[in-house]
Structure 1
Amino acid sequence: MGTAVAAPPLRVTWVQPEDLVGHELRQAAEDGREADGIARRWRAAGGAPAPERAGASAVPSDPSLRPLAERLLDELALLTSPLSEDEPTGLTEIVAKCPQWPPERHELMGSQAAVACRLEAAWLGRAVGCLLGKPVEKLPLDGIRALARATGNWPLASYFTAAGLDPSLAARYPWNRRSSTTSLAENIDGMPEDDDLNYPLLGLLLLERHGHGFGTGDVARLWLDELPAGRTFTAERIAYRNLLDGIEPPGTARYRNPFREWIGAGIRADVYGWTHPGDPAAAAAQAWRDATLSHTANGVYGAMFVAAATAEAAGGRADVHGALRAGLAVIPVRSRFARAVRFGIAAARDEPTGTAEGFRAVVDRLHGAYGHHHWVHAVPNAALLAAALTHADGEFSGAVCRAVSGGWDTDSNGATAGALAGLLAGAPAALPRRWTAPLRNRLATSVGGLDGIGFDTLARRTAALTVRAPRP
């Protein structure tokens, strides 16, 4: 008989207290809390800093550190950020910090079939951008550029491929192992599962089951009913854990959750914009109700920004620049998120827009300003998203390629840029077939019995939920 091999210890990332302390210390440094004393105690006990590109350190923490980690997390939660006055989480307080908050209004977008056509382009655009970014998620900027150049795909213009790639370069910059088998050009056969599509699906189910008057508790119950815990990451996994521990919203977003200002809520917001054409305020308010299950402050602003910008674009009167202005109008003007969006737009306008290669200088400038953040944080990704859309002038291929080539959260930025640019394009036929044909009108998911659903079906179901009223 062979010798039994012991299984490696289970490492459930994103939730272990000893893994969270380093991330919370990093969050404290970003939001201005004085945590040097806590950091010294953690280091003296042998605690690790936050890993740069993962939820847990590559070297497992000593389990004996867990009681200390739990105490330090609770101590860190008691520290007050000097930025809290300019970065509230309550909706009333957010509105008060937005002097340009838009009035509520509705737009008539024509027949439901016409609306469905535009929304199919938005759903497809979200999938294309996500799929383009999946293989290089977590890779550094230099790696993304090197892989694209080595395969003749720079400036980025098509899906990544391993064909012809030097093995030594592939070993230096390995593809995202979770997704390369389904997202490299030679392997694509339909849209594979990804959280950047799972959450819009959940948003669709939420509105179908509870209507536009849903509450944060309805979002929580839907997650528990339809979203496998293993398909959650960062702030969403913490919120899921907190729900199972009996913590109710909004405590789910705050309790031992160092990822509460990361990008996750922003990838959940498109549906609220799609179903509120021309009404950024209402879309942002719905996104707020969803986002506060798992996020606070800048993390919530990411969802509100996307929802409002999408709603403005769905109204049919705005170009991409008007959509971005609408997104900014629902964000506290002195917040880090708003400053990052303004910085990204200004950086894009400072560089020639004729070629994608000109965007490299924009990206280098953004990484110089925001590279100290974790690559999933909402603030740097907001700057990049705004810059990509601005520099591409909303054109679909340019927007998704710029968003992904800029690094950081490549699949999430690609997805959001693609959804907005697809919506502005107006119809599936307006999107190049080199992007959409490999999707085969098929989306894989573990959410709510929707596996294999077509983008045309999703668009029709979304159009049926659209809030519209005749223009005066």
Structure 2
Amino acid sequence: MTAVRLTWAQPEDLVGHELRQAAEDGRDPAAALRTWLAAGGHPAPDRAGASLTPAPRELRALATRLLDALAQLPPPSEADEPHSWPAIRATWPTTTHGDRPTGLPNPAARPPTGPGQGATTPRPAPPRAAEAVPGAPPPGTEPEPGYGPARAAQPPGGAGPHPLLPTGPEAALRERLEAAWVGRAVGCLLGKPVEKLPLEGIRALARAAGNWPLNDWFSERGVPPRVLAAHPWNRRSAPTSLAENIDGMPEDDDLNYPLLGLLLLQRHGKGFTTADVARLWLDELPAGRTFTAERIAYRNLLLGLEPPVTATHHNPFREWIGALIRADVHGWTNPGDPAAAAAQAYRDAALTHTGNGVYAALFVAAATATAATGRSDVHTALRTGLAFVPPRSRLAEAVRFGIRAARAEPEDFDLVVDRLHARYGHYHWVHAVPNTALIAAALTHADGDFTRSVCRAVSGGWDTDSNGATAGALAGLLTGSPDALPHRWTAPLKNRLATTVPGFDGIGFDTLAHLTAQEAARS
């Protein structure tokens, strides 16, 4: 009988990740590390979610004790990386007279409920004038845009009404939201077959197929067997995500979480609490569809713990990318109000993440809310998102570095990626800091072009499907319409999304846009 080896949950693996996290956030794990290694403990798995074999009972018990001991280490000063909502808000720059940022006319954000309940939400100062990104989009031809006939497909029964077609601002917002949903799916699907692969593997596979710099779906056609043997595709994703076998958008957590966010808003409105997020997950999210910090938080809920302890108890993944991939829906439903988007993203993220994991969600939510107006370019959106991140945090430094690197190398994104990996390669490949820096660099370098945005985000490695999804959502939103997205990207999706989130399996992106626009209109 084969034993079940649950990933992202074994104490003997968690302790290695926690030792690494402690060193990254300024605590001293040296004594715990010596104890662990002396007892025969191993470092955390580099890319897999679990080590190959279970630890002996004594070693597993030691790992649990060390997790408790590491949690008691004196935390670093929160001056640079605050955790509470009031402390995070206090880092936001404000204008002298309390003016709202330029181009963001919506009223003040709803005060958060749950963590930070009752606090007001000041606004950052307006970003500085846009700096032009050197270079123009490279020459090339795009096939005609749009879904083609598949876009008119009716949604499945129970998935909601087929969108109506009124004119005016509401229709324009819905068009932008549909482009964002589709863009998120495209970027995610592009990154799926190379998720977990090292950078050299991604480059080798694409080059062997004549697809480098990356400009199209990954394909196995023409790739020599020796290259495939050296750099095997992601075994779970390749059967549904290579060019030769895409048939609709397969299930992925990068789409499941926006669906859950939409469901959260439908049930609880924009005043939801972190406890509402927790209850929704227990009701509607299969535990086996969670990973890293989300799996740990889910386990903590089942142990009877409550937020925000769910984000910290034996959770070495609390600064990884999971909260970022849940942030889009909060920006989509607060167009022009990045402060409200950030407040919602915080309450969502607090279930599972702290520190830089939360800041990444604030960055994406605020940038997305800015882009959702239809009046912003990508650089304004990124600067606005960054204004909601504590400025001396590691995440803010990484985003600034990514943007500067992209501007410094306008002709060759590979050089940008090499600089990012040299500076942040010591982080785990799912950590929020390197991945958010890469997203910002890719979007900056692409200068609003959809294809270049998703391809640069994925070609940079690390968490390829999540990075592609976030870059694709923002770039899609900025195009203004799904018909502006190249046909070669949208046609294989067939306006169909697979998911285990109840009530959404087989739904079309047009219907999702309609439902999201409804939540955006709710006060």
TM-score of the superposed pair, with normalisation by structure 2: 0.86
1:279 corresponds, among 321, 337, 340, to: 337
2:172 corresponds, among 114, 117, 133, to: 114
1:32 corresponds, among 26, 35, 47, to: 26
Task: Give the match for residue 466 of structure 2.
Answer: 412
Unaligned runs of 5+ in 2: 108-166
Query: Do residues 301 (structure 1) and 359 (structure 2) align?
Result: yes
Q: Tell me if structure 2 keeps the 8 A contact 1:106–1:279.
A: yes
Q: 60-69 vs 125-134, which deviates more?
A: 60-69
Partner AA of 1:260 in structure 2: R
Matches within 5 A, 1:425-444: 425-444=479-498
Shift of 1:83: 4.7
Task: Give the match for residue 446 of structure 2.
Answer: 392
Partner AA of 1:82 in structure 2: P
Per-residue displacement from partner, 1:31-64 (whole Å, max 9, x unpaired)?
1111101000001111111111122223432232
* Structure-2 separation of matches of 1:83 and 1:259: 20
SS of structure 2 residue aligned to 1:464? helix
Matches within 5 A, 1:6-17: 7-17=1-11
Query: Do residues 175 (structure 1) and 233 (structure 2) align?
Result: yes
Task: Give the match for residue 89 of structure 1.
Answer: 83
Shift of 1:65: 1.3
Per-residue displacement from partner, 1:121-146 (whole Å, max 9, x unpaired)?
00000000000000000000000000
Matches within 5 A, 1:147-158: 147-158=205-216
2:285 corresponds, among 227, 235, 253, to: 227
Shift of 1:80: 2.4
TM-score of the superposed pair, with normalisation by structure 1: 0.95
Q: Tell me if structure 1 keeps the 8 A contact 2:458–2:464.
A: yes
* Structure-2 separation of matches of 1:260 and 1:337: 14
Matches within 5 A, 1:139-154: 139-154=197-212
* Structure-2 separation of matches of 1:361 and 1:114: 38
Task: Give the match for residue 50 of structure 1.
Answer: 44
Partner AA of 1:430 in structure 2: A
Q: Tell me if structure 1 keeps the 8 A contact 2:269–2:522.
A: no
Task: Give the match for residue 131 of structure 1.
Answer: 189
Query: Do residues 69 (structure 1) and 127 (structure 2) align?
Result: no
Change (3 A) 1:305 1:99: same
Partner AA of 1:334 in structure 2: R
Query: Do residues 402 (structure 1) and 460 (structure 2) align?
Result: no
Q: Tell me if structure 1 keeps the 8 A contact 2:172–2:480.
A: no
Percent same amino acid among aligned pairs?
72
Partner AA of 2:260 in structure 1: L
Task: Give the match for residue 459 of structure 1.
Answer: 513
Partner AA of 1:329 in structure 2: A
Per-residue displacement from partner, 1:89-135 (whole Å, max 9, x unpaired)?
2111001112159668529x943222111100000000000000000
SS of structure 2 residue aligned to 1:466? helix
Per-residue displacement from partner, 1:194-215 (whole Å, max 9, x unpaired)?
0000000000000001000000
* Structure-2 separation of matches of 1:93 and 1:368: 32
Partner AA of 1:439 in structure 2: L
SS of structure 1 residue aligned to 2:466? helix
Q: 75-84 vs 402-411, which deviates more?
A: 75-84
Shift of 1:267: 0.3
Q: 72-81 vs 261-270, which deviates more?
A: 72-81
Query: Do residues 375 (structure 1) and 375 (structure 2) align?
Result: no
* Structure-2 separation of matches of 1:258 and 1:285: 24
1:216 corresponds, among 261, 274, 277, to: 274
Shift of 1:84: 2.9
Task: Give the match for residue 123 of structure 2.
Answer: none
Q: Tell me if structure 2 keeps the 8 A contact 1:277–1:468.
A: no
* Structure-2 separation of matches of 1:166 and 1:431: 32
Change (3 A) 1:100 1:180: farther
RMSD, aligned α-carbons? 1.5
* Structure-2 separation of matches of 1:56 and 1:215: 32
* Structure-2 separation of matches of 1:64 and 1:154: 49
* Structure-1 separation of matches of 2:312 and 2:521: 32
SS of structure 2 residue aligned to 1:264? coil
* Structure-1 separation of matches of 2:448 and 2:319: 26
Per-residue displacement from partner, 1:433-463 (whole Å, max 9, x unpaired)?
1000000000000002210000000000001
Partner AA of 1:135 in structure 2: P
SS of structure 2 residue aligned to 1:43? helix
Task: Give the match for residue 321 of structure 2.
Answer: 263
Per-residue displacement from partner, 1:383-415 (whole Å, max 9, x unpaired)?
100000000002100000000000000000000
* Structure-2 separation of matches of 1:139 and 1:60: 24
Shift of 1:292: 0.4
* Structure-1 separation of matches of 2:521 and 2:204: 45
Query: Do residues 313 (structure 1) and 379 (structure 2) align?
Result: no
* Structure-2 separation of matches of 1:295 and 1:443: 27
2:256 corresponds, among 195, 198, 205, to: 198
Greater share of residues in helix: 1
Partner AA of 1:381 in structure 2: N
SS of structure 1 residue aligned to 2:520? coil
Q: Tell me if structure 2 keeps the 8 A contact 1:106–1:467.
A: no
Unaligned runs of 5+ in 1: 1-6
Shift of 1:163: 1.1
Task: Give the match for residue 503 of structure 2.
Answer: 449
Per-residue displacement from partner, 1:135-168 (whole Å, max 9, x unpaired)?
0000000000000000111110011011121112
Partner AA of 2:463 in structure 1: D
Partner AA of 2:208 in structure 1: A
* Structure-2 separation of matches of 1:143 and 1:53: 14
Q: Tell me if structure 2 keeps the 8 A contact 1:53–1:375.
A: yes
In the comparison of the two structures, how many residue pairs are matched? 458
Q: Tell me if structure 1 keeps the 8 A contact 2:27–2:74.
A: yes
* Structure-1 separation of matches of 2:13 and 2:273: 31
Task: Give the match for residue 349 of structure 1.
Answer: 407
* Structure-2 separation of matches of 1:24 and 1:424: 38
* Structure-1 separation of matches of 2:420 and 2:94: 26
